[in-house]
Amino acid sequence: MNTPPAIAFDAVEQVFTGNDGAPIHALSDLTFSVARHEFVSVLGPSGCGKSTLLRLVAGLIAPTGGSVSIFGYPVKEPRDEIGIVFQKPTLLPWYSVINNVTFPMRHKYGRVESKDRARALELLDLVGLADFADKRIDELSGGMQQRVGIARALLLDPDILLMDEPFSALDALTRDEMSFELLRIWRDRPKTVLFITHSIPDALLLSDRILVMSERPGCIREEIKVPFERPRTLETLGDPEFTRLANHIRNRLFSKPVAA
């Protein structure tokens, strides 16, 4: 009675053709899996293929080698089980906040029913924006816009939430606040989360497990199980083990691979 993992990569290769026609080897022999309702962060240098990895899970591109599967099924096209939060909020300025949250319904099915609106309001409440439903997008701060993006990604109640450096465009204070917000949201609505980030503290604070990637072509250099008890708080940040792990990861990120 083995339930298949939520996300599984098996020897995935990804080769792009660059503008000059030369092949770009983005991902190489990438193998990992994420269990249902697990929170996994991916850390790695810029250009190592993190966004590519996420697009593969989303079914937006197909791997050039190996296989990607979701709940045991190979990914062939985008699926409803997945919600995506992008680096920039990428909201639609011609819609109000609530209409941005219900956008997946309008876009996928061509109409929004009152129960969808009710659900959107509930989600806005969850991300702390209950009073902003009828505001215009440009009336919101960057952090608030990203919360709307999270609410939108949750509208179709996906099992898997993909987040591509969602807080990297925010200032440091807002970023910390958003991290704790995300922890709270994840506790209220357990999801499988694949969280791509540049921030070692964010990864340590949020995740059950961290995948550290190598430079391009990206593969998993190390897998780190994060030992801290939940719920995690500001105290977690002060734990000596937190500092030790952060240093360890930093060293892993910056050291060159032993053999090329």
Partner 1 sequence: MTNLYDRTTTMSLRQQVLRLLDRFTPALAFVVLIGLWEISTRVFSIPSFLLPAPSRIIADGFAVAASTWAGHIWATMRVALIGYLLAIAIGIPLAVGLAKSRFLARTLYPALIIIQSTPIVAVAPIIVVTLGAGDLPRIVITFLITFFPIVVSTTTGLLATPEELIELSRSLRAGTRREVMQVRLPYALPYIFSALKISTTLAVIGAVVAEFVAADKGLGFFISFSTSFFKIPQAFAGLVFLVILSMLLFRTVGFLQKRFAPWSLPKNER
Interface with ligand ADP (CB under 6 A), residue from 30, 48, 101, 170: 48
Q: Identify whether the C-beta of residue 42 lies closer than 8 Å to the C-beta of residue 206.
A: no
- What residues contact 72, with CB distance under 8 A and at least 6 apart? 4, 5, 8
By the rule CB under 6 A, 199 interacts with ligand ADP = no
Look up residue 152 and give its DSSP letter: H
Alpha carbons within 13 angstroms on the beta-carbon side of residue 91 total 29
By the rule CB under 8 A, 8 interacts with partner 1 = no
Which 60-89 residues touch partner 1, going by CB under 8 A?
60, 77-78, 82, 84, 86-88
Which 51-110 residues touch ligand ADP, going by CB under 6 A?
51-52
Torsion sign (Cα): 91, 96, 98, 104: negative
88 binds, among ligand ADP, partner 1, Mg ion, none (CB under 5 to 8 A by kind): partner 1
Count of residues making up the chain: 260
CB of 165 to Mg ion, least distance (A): 6
Interface with Mg ion (CB under 5 A), residue from 10, 24, 37, 51: 51
Interface with partner 1 (CB under 8 A), residue from 21, 110, 240, 257: 110
| Rounded Cα gap, residues 77 and 59, in angstroms | 5
List the one residue out of 33, 65, 43, 67 whose CA is nearest residue 214. 43
Tokens of 69: 């599967």
With CB under 5 A as the contact rule, which of the stretches 51-59, 117-125, 126-134, 221-229 interacts with Mg ion?
51-59
Q: Is it true that the peptide bond before 104 is cis, omega within 30 degrees of 0?
A: no
Tokens of 107: 């876009």
By the rule CB under 6 A, 50 interacts with ligand ADP = yes
Where on the chain is the footprint of partner 1 (CB under 8 A)? 55, 58-60, 77-78, 82, 84, 86-88, 90, 92-94, 104, 106-108, 110, 136, 138
Where on the chain is the footprint of Mg ion (CB under 5 A)? 51
Where on the chain is the footprint of ligand ADP (CB under 6 A)? 16, 18, 24, 26, 44, 46-52, 216
